[in-house]
Homo-oligomer: A and B are copies of this chain.
C-alpha cells in the first residue's frame, strides 16, 4: 500500500523567493512522479517543496522539531510533531530514500552529512559546495533526472 519512493527535500526555514520557487519546482516534479515528499514541515524551502508537491497532487510529510502540529506549513498533509528539536533532522533522513538539498544553512548541512553517513544519495542544488558524496545538479530538471537515474539502478523491490 505504501510502495512509494520517499524523497526528502532539505533546506532552510527562511529563504529568498527565488529559492522558494526552486523548491516548488522540485516539489512539483516529486508529486507528478508519484513520489512522496518528506521534509521538516516548516517554512521556506520546506514550504515551497510541499506547495509544489501538493499542486501536483502528491503526498507531503512534515517531520516537525516541536510538539505542535500547527507549526506545519499549510501544504503538509501529514505532520509528525517530534519534540526532538534538531534531532528531527535525523528522522527526515531516515524516512527518505533520496534527499535533495536546496541552499540551506547549518541545519541543512547536518542533514546532508547524516544522509551521506548512512549512504543515502544526496542531490545538491545551490547548496553547500565541495561536500564529497553530494551529486550536484545544475537546475531542478537535472535534480529530477538524477533521482530517476538512481531509481533505475535500484532493485525494483526497494522503496
Q: Interface of A with B (CB < 8 Å)? A: 1-2, 6, 36, 54, 59, 61, 63, 67, 69, 72, 74-87, 89-91, 94-95, 105-107, 109-110, 112-114, 116-118, 129-131, 133, 159
The DSSP consensus for interface residues of chain A is mixed
Indicate how many identical chains form the complex: 4
State the CA gap A45–B99 with chains docked (Å).
29
> Which of B76, B87, B107, B116 contacts A83, CB < 8 Å?
B87
State the CA gap A76–B22 with chains docked (Å).
31
B residues less than 8 Å from A89 (CB atoms): 114
Q: Is the CB of B110 within 8 A of A114?
A: yes
B residues less than 8 Å from A133 (CB atoms): 106
Q: Is the CB of B2 within 8 A of A69?
A: yes
Q: Quick one: closest B residue to A41, CB to CB?
A: B2
Q: Is the CB of A117 within 8 A of B113?
A: no
